[in-house]
Structure 1
Amino acid sequence: MQKNQNLLSCQIIHRLRGRIRIKSKALKFISQSLKVEIEKQLLQVKYIKTAEITLITGTILIYFEDISLSDQNLISLLQNTLNAHIIEICSNEKKFSNSKYVIERKLQEESPREIIQKIVATGSLLAYNIFKSKNSIALTGLRKFFNYNTLSTIGLAMPVIKNGFMSLVKNKRPNADTLSSTAIISSILLGKEGTALTIMMLEEIAELLTVYTMKKTRGAIKDMLSVGENFVWKEISEDNVIRVPIEEIQKNDIIVVQTGEKISVDGKILKGEALIDQSSITGEYMPVKKAIGENVFAGTIIKNGNISILAEKVGDDRTVSRIIKLVEDANSNKADIQNYADTFSAQLIPLNFILAGIVYTATKNIPKAMSMLVIDYSCGIRLSTAVAFSAAINTAAKNGVLVKGSNFIEELAKAETVIFDKTGTITEGKPKVQSIEVFSDISENEMIALAAAAEEQSSHPLAIAIMNEIKDRGLEIPKHGKLKTIVSRGVETKVGKGKTASLIRVGSKKFMLENDINLNLSYDTERGVISRGEIGIYVSKDSELIGIIGVSDPPRENIKKAINRLRNHGVDDIVLLTGDLRQQAETIASRMSLDRYESELLPEDKAKNILKFQSTGSNVIMIGDGVNDAPALSYANVGVALGSTRTDIAMEAADITITQDDPLLVPGVIGLSKKTVKTIKENFAMVIGLNTFALVLGATGILPPIYASVLHNSTTIFVVGNSLKLLKYDLNSK
């Protein structure tokens, strides 16, 4: 969905006591039924007397009783009401935007093989024409048109002719194919099939390069979005399981998944139970136990166990097809520069016909007039953007970065403010033991082993950090009794037997104080733990404090280097927004040299902060985990999900998904976006310069139509070739 902050922006037209008229772009894109619904919702507000929307002007007139209401109160009320229908409003706006552009053939519907076949057929017929022109007598009358050569030329040109005609009928305006088909038909009428075939073949070569780029992009995205195994075990009966390709699995089939395998469907567990790594959905690195009746998702991995799953979503209902279509949907996700190119090129097409008419009127020379039709800006300008963005999306996909549309590439290039979430984005999201302080006469290893005895059966991330430390040190956990968990405080257990057994408590400072544990020895250590942004885990033995374990979530590898590279790309405001405590946020912000931070935020608070930045004119990029930060990702100009988030939920939340745990890809894709915009500007200059030169030569008669076509189509090939350089762009370059 396109960003809605501009769509929902409001302007007060006039205001009197108890009356206000507000203008909003969104009001122009609501249906009659939605108009009635919105008016009805507003009338339910106790202080509103009447509300009347005018669709043509995109305004609403509101009469209200409470004269103490501020303008912002009324605007916020309207925006909140419209926001509830934003999907329908955005959809209507897209339909309107689509109607402004000419109908062009969808090149992605043709394969490179089909276009190569057309080039071979056109080239063969062109070679025949060259040979025939030297060894034949000119045909006259109807035989001039009804012969194998002419009919074959018309047959090969039919897709172009048909699309050019349909644009005139449906859109009431010409497109690039209208110009080409006019030049082709004119050449045929003049008996110059060779000229027509030359025009066609050069255009087909340009199309081949474009389609090749699009095909590579689709392939790269498919490879990246693979969310399961190529083959799965399908249950035929209680005692019969067969291995089949994933494509053959239908809804309501039963598949069997075992330890170490990736789940390939969304569904419900019918039999068994398993420990499943769902980090691709929830961002939690700890595996979750799933049993009969619970839902599982494609892309998650079974760490331990065997289950039978009733398939509920398979094939195209999952991620791949929907996302590929979204990437290719040029009208839904076009960049501003691409919309400008399409609009500009569409406006220039009638100019060619006008120039052709002027040249013919002045010279009465049909070949000179035809040169005006053969040379057009439209094709080159359109491909200047389309191929460049397609190549950029392809390069990103090959590096594990999914970009949903070309508009987000342009937005990245304009980035001024980058906002990071903390947990799982700047940090790994996996707490680790960073410091250990012992207050007794036991060793460090003995103290942490006693702590592990109490935490052994806990699934809390801090407990996992202690258990991982035990594994890293190769220590043995002492035998212990049953564990007792005190919610939001800690855990306790007895270590040893009989009268020599000791009561071990592990938990928060409050847990210790509630059990009368003396903390006098820990004050200096506590201050050190806090200053480092660590979480202090207190460990006691009977009534004595024996140690403090400092645990923190360490920064991702290369995150500092990534932030430095962002600054090199012109990002001058890097902000941390997190739900963590102030001290932890301050520590990370200081270590990463961030410009500022906000802590202890709820998801909606992050979204409000982003709107605040945007209100000052900043172009905001939000980098989060793609799920927990969904509101913030949605409100940002570009939402980037960093990490292994390959599921439907993450794809919906973010505009760009980086499937690798490599923060250097963030500045990498921003660098790619800047290179893409620079390439497009180079293409514009090339197309306008060379085609203007060709038009002048064609109008003066210096350049015959066939050479005008060669020059024009060579320009198109040049810009496509220039755009294809983006396929070689290195995202790891500084």
Structure 2
Amino acid sequence: MTDKLRLELPILLPEAADACDHCVTSLIAVLEGRPGVSEAHVDKSEAGEGSLCIHYDESQIRLGQLRAFALQAGATLNDRFGHFAFELAGGVHARSARRIADGLRGQVGVLAAEVGPTGRGFVEFDRAKTDEDALRASVRAAGARLLVRPAPTDRQPSGVNVEGVVHEHHDHGSGSGHVHDKARVPDPAHERHDHGASAKLATGHEGHDHAAGDHDHAHGGVFGERTELIFAVLSGVMLLAGWLIGQRLPGVVQLIFYGAAYVFGGYFTLKEAFENLRKRRFEIDTLMLVAAAGAAALGQWAEGALLLFLFSIGHALEHYAMGRARRAIEALAQLAPERATVRRGNQTEDIAVEALKIGDIVLVRPNERIAADGVVVVGESSVNQAPVTGESVPVDKRAAAQHDLDFAKASSEHRVFAGTINGSGALDVRVAKKASESTLARVVKMVAEAEAQRSPTQRFTDRFERIFVPAVLVGVGLLMLAFLVIDEPFSASFYRAMAVLVAASPCALAISVPSAVLSGVARAGRGGVLVKGGGPLENLGTLTALAFDKTGTLTQGKPRLTDVVPADGVEEHELLAVAVAVEALSDHPLAAAVVRDGEEKLGQTPRLKAEAVKSLTGQGVQADVSGKAAVIGKPGLFESGEGPKPPAAVWSEAQRLEAAGRTVVVVRHGDRYLGVLGLMDTARPAAKVVIQRLRTLGIKHIIMLSGDNQSVASAIAKELELDEAKGGLMPEDKVAVIKALKEKFGKAAMVGDGVNDAPAMANATVGIAMGAAGSDVALETADVALMADDLTHLPFAVGLSRRTSGIIKQNLWVSLGMVAFLIPATLLGLKIGEAVIFHEGSTLLVVANALRLLAYRAKTV
């Protein structure tokens, strides 16, 4: 489905056409070809203002991703667009979740709405057309109850995880009458405010949102979250009691117990069926009630009670299984401490993490969980970052210099994350993000949203059910008339029709896909991999082509001095001494590599001093060393510049190193050529093994894309045994390569850093960002985010996706296969009781199969 929604982003179009092109066309390039986006164009007004109009399908791309792409190009989303995330009491069944989501989508102004079987959901909406109150009312109208976080106070902390929380996210500064500044580019993190209900509502129940007149207790009924399970057990007890009594006293007493079994077993089923019928929907619950009522009409009270007992116990166990997967995700949120020790002058104070402000200094004691994202300013320690990034080995941390306190730019040795565990040293951490904006909080929110996202297979099963269930009702109606065609009493035809009704109910099908997706997303999150829903999870599990960015992904992103070749008659230490002296005055990345590695090679050799440095733009650098001009630059500088030309031997070495994939600089001191230096961005130590592991997982075609020259790219590709390397690429060239891969292989993934590679990642079937922890842009734009800057997490993500895809297929075969078996079996005489045992058994089987994903272990790389 395409061209489903039209979204207008206000932008400021400068008078200079070139500037306009640079700003806006870069965004259009990002969106062009993105799955889910059918068109993007600019509508310009006479005043120079305009809007970027995007036609997109919300089932394939999230509004949050569009927002992140827009921010990269300088466009800004209007304050009209809001984001409402919520959780329902006790979770819901997959069918109820679908009904609630459909009700929300039917509201005017709702752009996208999803509700997952764990009870979490999110809505993206237009504030000009609807608001949160209307959305809450829609949820209540569907028969569900919202849970609300009490307003956090300093005395009663409220961490990231409070079971049953409603998060209401607002873009900062929005509100009625607010004038939107089209030229302003907001912070990509989008300041968010959590609005809870009052600490205690008028009903006296803390943290629950009740509709007027709604006296239901939390989590589903009089016994709390276990009410459905207890009712199901009571139904079974009543059924057993009725059967035992019937052995001695058949009659009214037996019917009373069977009737009680009907009440306890059918209560929640009737409630759900009523809501479905009110919405003019025929669901599985309706089929079960009709079958149970039919059994009672035939006097088969025992079989009808057995049907409702098994159906209700199956529902309750589904809830338990979904709750287990939900708790696996909630465990992420529980990692963040609720309180922090803050240094205020010479005093320390214990406060709630929500009260932390950017710039506060938090004291982290040994073996304590870190309370906030920030930069270490005092102390040294090692930190276990596995809860956020999945890294198996603690990472050493030390204090950053005053000029390195920018969290986004700080290196990993200075940056820490909320929820990670400090080692044996004490640290002082300068807070860089509020509790609601920490990396952990953002991951928890995004994983919760991912739970609700429906995968392509789930959309197929939803469509299948909507056609299949009415078809079953029509078929059952015709079977009831079989006595008119064959010689049998009406009761026999009616009983057979009820048995077919039970057999044809696709309960297992309804839960088979969401249970697997939920378990896969939960397991990935626990392993430091953020997967944005079932779509990316399924796609990653089936693709066969993958493209890597080179710099910082397959390579370390830090050039190293790999070759030192002195000219004839020149000592190595002389060449290095002059090169280090000159490059020490340059801020170029290659210069830093020459200085770092050159000083290491020089050891105790006395250093030279350079002065009067002069940059030769795009070619090299010049300075005075020991009274002579020293020039360091590309070989072409000396071929066409002033001064003597390089000797044949020096020129030959330069060409040899370039052919070997090195970045080459020539060093001249006065009129003497001292030699040639070769630099190279070396491959990550684990890169080759990771690529081999990916091949064993079924990735057949692996290539590398780079902006470096072709010889450099080819050298790295040969070392890592890649299928192909493409060098000298501009961003638009990378997009073209990705499109070509998709045409050839059907699906293709792009692995990059989530910032520079955004256009290519956006056009890939699956965009994978590496080292996304702390990077707002990478977290927002990627379909899959590897939280750690660790390439070894990629095989884990691919392997888990492969396993998830396999389990989804297994579940589909089991669920559809059971329906295909039971329908002819009931037509040939299988009784209702036997049919329901097979029916509910298959439901529990697919859920148990899906839960195996929570224990997934990747092979070590």
Scaled to the shorter chain, the TM-score interval is 0.7 to 0.9
Matches within 5 A, 1:151-550: 154=263, 157-170=266-279, 172-183=280-291, 191-192=301-302, 193-217=305-329, 219=331, 232-234=340-342, 237-244=344-351, 246=353, 248-249=354-355, 254-256=360-362, 302=414, 314-315=436-437, 319-330=442-453, 334-362=454-482, 363-365=490-492, 367-439=495-567, 443-445=571-573, 447-456=575-584, 458-470=586-598, 473=601, 475-476=603-604, 478-481=606-609, 483-487=611-615, 488=617, 489-491=619-621, 505-509=631-635, 516=643, 519-520=646-647, 521-550=649-678
- One-letter code aligned to 2:442: T
Alpha-carbon deviation of 1:722?
2.8
1:109 counterpart letter in structure 2:
G
1:381/1:687 contact within 8 Å kept: yes
Counterparts of 1:370 and 1:697, CA distance in 2: 13
Amino acid at match of 2:459: N
* 1:541-576 CA-partner distances (Å, limit 9, x unpaired): 444232322110112234334434444555444333
* Residue of structure 2 equivalent to 1:90: 58
Task: Work out the CA distance in 1 between the residues paired with 2:767 and 2:711.
Answer: 26
Partner Cα distance (1:94, 1:626) in 2? 16
Cα 1:625/1:308, change in 2 over 3 Å? closer
Post-superposition shift, 1:324?
A: 1.4
Deviations 1:478-497 (A, max 9, x none): 345465543345456666xx
Instruction: Give me the whole-angstrom Cα distance separating, in 1, the residues matched to 2:97 and 2:527.
Output: 35
* Structure-2 residue corresponding to 1:655: 783
Contact 2:537 2:801 in 1 (8 A): yes
Structure 2 residue matching 1:415: 3-state secondary structure: coil
Q: Distance in 1 between matches of 2:55 and 2:538?
A: 23
Structure 2 partner of 1:126: 236
Q: Is the 8 A contact 1:431 1:461 kept in 2?
A: yes
2:632–2:668 Cα contact (<8 Å) kept: yes
Greater shift, 291-300 or 656-665, is seen at 291-300
Further displaced range: 295-304 or 548-557? 295-304
Q: Is the 8 A contact 2:339 2:371 kept in 1?
A: no
- 2:705 corresponds in structure 1 to 577
TM-score (norm 1): 0.73
Query: SS state of the match for residue 118, structure 2?
Result: helix
Count the aligned residue pairs: 642
| Structure 2 counterpart of 1:242, one-letter code | E
Task: Please give the per-residue CA displacement for 1:230-267, whole angstroms capped at 9, x wherever unaligned.
Answer: 865535x5444435453x33567844589999997689
Counterpart contact for 1:539–1:545, Cα < 8 Å: yes
Choose 302-311 or 661-670, whichever is displaced more: 302-311
The structural deviation recorded for 1:155 is 5.6
Q: Indicate the RMSD between aligned Cα atoms, in angstroms.
A: 4.9
CA contact (8 A) 1:187 1:196 kept: no
In structure 1, what is the Cα distance between the partners aligned to 2:590 and 2:364?
29
The separation in 2 between residues aligned to 1:262 and 1:522, in whole angstroms, is 57
The SS at the match of 1:430 is strand
* CA pair 296-268 structure 1, distance change in 2 beyond 3 A: farther
**Alpha-carbon separation, structure 1, partners of 2:359 and 2:672:** 59
Give the Cα–Cα distance (whole angstroms) in 2 for the partners of residues 299 and 552 of structure 1.
21
**Does residue 762 of structure 2 align to residue 634 of structure 1?**
yes
Residue 15 of structure 1 aligns with which residue? Answer: none
Q: Which residue of 2 aligns with 1:52?
A: none
Whether contact under 8 Å (1:264, 1:298) holds in the other structure is: no
Aligned CA distance change for structure 1 residues 156 and 132 (closer, same or farther; 3 Å): closer
Shift of 1:655: 0.8
Q: Which residue of 2 aligns with 1:717?
A: 844
Larger proportion of helix: 1
| AA at the equivalent of 1:436 | V
What TM-score do you get using the length of structure 2 for normalisation? Answer: 0.63
Q: CA deviation at 1:102?
A: 5.0
For 2:558, what is the secondary structure of its paired residue?
coil
Change (3 A) 1:502 1:79: closer
- Give the aligned residue type for 1:107: P
The letter for the 2-side match of 1:324 is: V
| Counterparts of 1:373 and 1:474, CA distance in 2 | 84
**C-alpha displacement at 1:288, in angstroms?**
9.4
Distance 1:641-1:230 versus aligned 2 partners, 3 A rule: farther
Q: Give the equivalent residue in structure 1 for 2:30.
A: none
Secondary structure of the structure 1 residue equivalent to 2:507 = helix
Aligned-pair CA distance for 1:536: 1.7
Rounded Cα–Cα distance in structure 1 between residues aligned with 2:60 and 2:757: 27
Whole-angstrom distance in 2 between the partners of 1:541 and 1:93: 58
Residues in 2 aligned to 1:126 and 1:709: alpha-carbon distance in whole angstroms: 14
Deviations 1:442-462 (A, max 9, x none): 643554354334444655332
Displacement of 1:580 after TM fit? 1.3
Q: Given that residues 482 and 493 in structure 1 are in contact (C-alpha distance below 8 angstroms), is that contact kept between their aligned partners in structure 2? A: yes
Residue 422 of structure 2 corresponds to none
Structure 1 residue 468: Cα displacement? 3.9
Contact 1:102 1:174 in 2 (8 A): no
Specify the code of the residue in structure 1 equivalent to 2:355.
I
CA distance 1:292–1:644, change in 2 (3 Å): closer
* Letter of the structure 1 residue corresponding to residue 273 of structure 2: G
Structure 2's unaligned 5+ residue stretches are 18-36, 44-50, 64-94, 102-114, 121-162, 164-218, 379-388, 390-398, 417-426, 483-489
State the 1:477 CA deviation: 6.4
Question: After the TM superposition, which residues 103-118 of structure 1 pair with which residues of structure 2 at under 5 Å, given as runs?
Answer: 106-109=116-119, 118=228
1:419–1:577 CA contact under 8 A, matched in 2: yes
Give matches, 1:575-724, under 5 Å: 575-614=703-742, 618-643=746-771, 645-703=773-831, 705-724=832-851
Q: How far off is 1:169 after superposition?
A: 2.0
Per the TM alignment, residue 650 of structure 1 is displaced from its structure 2 partner at its CA by: 0.7
Post-superposition shift, 1:431?
1.4
CA distance in 2, matches of 1:201, 1:292: 58
Distance apart, 1:530 and its partner CA: 0.3
Amino acid at match of 1:178: T
Report the alpha carbon displacement of residue 638 of structure 1 after superposing the two structures with TM.
0.7
Give the Cα separation in 2 of the matches to 1:316 and 1:646.
Answer: 8
Contact 2:329–2:447 (8 Å) recurs in 1:
no
The SS at the match of 2:751 is: strand
- Cα distance, 1:311 vs. partner? 5.2
| Distance across 2 between alignment mates of 1:436 and 1:298 | 31
In structure 1, what is the Cα distance between the partners aligned to 2:407 and 2:774?
Answer: 17
Report the Cα offset of residue 347 of structure 1.
2.0
Aligned-pair identity (%): 23
CA–CA separation in structure 2 for the residues paired with 1:262 and 1:539: 51
